[in-house]
A and B are shown apart, each in its own frame.
Chain A
């Protein structure tokens, strides 16, 4: 189909290729920059100190374990909030609500996703933290629990969007087959639709978790930023310090090239890898799903 505008086709194709490659290129550049600034930390601070349990950088104590466990426990808590509520909302929107309600609910959920996280942090300090303190009889409301609640709220729109799409894409034939066999609506949802959309739902959860791990402003305002090792589930009610909040709070005051600077970038590397693992797992699951359903339906 060689037409006169052959060079135009060529140009457009090249532009799109460059755009696609640049996305990967930018990620690679970020990765190399992190490595260059963060790896010297391994030289300047011994591995043993780096993975010890006390974080007090202005006095030379660079143990990042409390920060890692802090991030993990806040994310775990966020998942415990986001998964039931997010999945429940997705199931309601996809399966149960009538068409008119669904057209209203979807944009509203997207709206919730557009809320700036610093605003939620603000609401957290003023409203959530006091209630959490009184409700659970804690010494202070500025704890991992408040952080988890807010992060769950931030992750819910992501979970809902992706899970709802996954549930929607389950072929109608599955549901009709179940109804024909006499299953109730809930039995259909729980035992047929949800398992069929399992990969998409798992992806939704992983993306929500990825969002929660990288959240900075909200956790900086409501978790109390105390570098305590969060090792048991009881740590959910104690203040914690996340990796993201540490980088945000301390990056401004470090002298470029100092040990503290390198350690902060090292934390950035850890964060980068955690997000990478979460996202790669999510995409691996998605690819498996497509191939399997193509096989079944062809």
Chain B
């Protein structure tokens, strides 16, 4: 019996300390029928979608919004399978995906709900602070391998990227690595690290002086160094911000989309109308994205 005391004590301690994580929720009584809206997709947009959902649910307690991430690819796949009410995507739906959806009897309807800039980030100790789109393309396709080729220190370049299910990845591939040219077939080099989330990218850039990465502006903390990008050699180098995205001078900016299977009706339509309105767009700005100009 004595021998059991020590392990038993450990179990009790662990159990009690894990209980402290339990939160006893307030009592809610929902008597009215609840509209459930399922919202899935882009990880770039997931925090924004959650902020929207929270605000909307406070004002409309009869609507229940479920927001999940998984990447733009996941959201669009769910849209094609007609298993989601609203799909979030940080890239446009591809022609093949549209065709797959139509084959399944789903007509995707597109709404531009916000704008985002993709910032290219490097370690704060890195002396390089401006690059052209061509240089970025050469870095990520593997043509440039050392920072000294760009005027920096003699260090190997470690390229960080999101996984291929991420809209951010696809957008970066099309607009930066392929320079916006549809016929360009350049790929990310095989030794680009495909990391599962923004957090891992940010963490690696923060402590690795060899690293270069990219991420949505809303996710880049203040202590990382953002590179000023020039669209073509000879153009001015521009840092991303709300102004430079809206006046189109920052070259790596994109629209964020929500897709519905067919024209939205009822609660989904109300939600999307609210998102396109002023209150929701203020939330966009708070989250670090760029609000679209509300319809006149």
Contact = CB atoms under 8 A, between A and B. Distances in A.
A47 to B, nearest CB: 21
Nearest to B70: A252
Contact of A228 (B76, B156, B190): B190
A257 to B, nearest CB: 10
Interface string B70-113: 11011011001100000000000000010010000000000000
A175 interface: no
B71 A133 contact: no
Contact of B196 (A59, A139, A249): A249
B267 interface: no
Contact of B207 (A103, A130, A224, A249): A130
A226 B200 contact: no
Contacts of A226: 190-194
A140 B196 contact: no
B71 A252 contact: yes
B77 A130 contact: no
B183 interface: no
B203 A249 contact: no
A114 to B, nearest CB: 10
A56 B194 contact: no
Interface residues of B, number: 39
B194 A225 contact: yes
Interface stretch (B19-27, B51-59, B158-166): B158-166
Contacts of A129: 204
Contacts of B80: 255
A253 B76 CA distance: 8
Nearest to A142: B193
B156 A125 contact: no
Contact of A221 (B73, B155, B200): B200
Contact of A256 (B7, B81, B165): B81
B159 to A, nearest CB: 9
B196 A225 contact: yes
B190 A54 contact: yes
B6 A104 contact: yes
B203 A125 contact: yes
Interface in A223-253: 224-228, 238-239, 241, 249-250, 252-253
Contacts of A220: 196
A227 B208 contact: no
B36 interface: no
A141 interface: yes
Given A111-B10, A125-B203, A250-B163, A228 B73 contact: no
Interface size bracket, A side: 35 or more
B210 interface: yes
A226 B6 CA distance: 45
B194 A140 contact: no
A119 to B, nearest CB: 13
B208 A255 contact: no
A57 B164 contact: yes
Interface in A130-180: 130, 133, 139-142
Most A Cβ at <10 Å: residue of B70, B163, B192, B211:
B163
A139 B156 contact: yes
Interface string B121-142: 0000000000000000000000
A84 B154 CA distance: 38
A146 B286 CA distance: 37
A133 B208 contact: yes
B3 interface: yes
Interface in A102-122: 103-104, 107, 111
Contacts of B163: 225, 249-250
Contacts of B157: 139
A39 interface: no
Contacts of B158: 139-140
B190 A140 contact: no
B34 interface: no
A115 to B, nearest CB: 12
Nearest to A107: B7
Interface in B186-205: 187-188, 190-196, 200, 203-204
Nearest to B73: A253
A254 interface: yes
Contacts of A228: 190-191
A59 B187 contact: yes
A255 B156 CA distance: 37
B71 A140 contact: no
Contacts of A125: 200, 203-204
A58 interface: yes
Which 10 residue pairs of A and B lie closest in terms of their CB atoms, listed nearest first? A253-B73, A253-B165, A224-B193, A225-B194, A139-B156, A252-B74, A140-B158, A107-B7, A253-B74, A58-B164
Interface of A: 54, 56-59, 66, 103-104, 107, 111, 125-126, 129-130, 133, 139-142, 220-221, 224-228, 238-239, 241, 249-250, 252-256
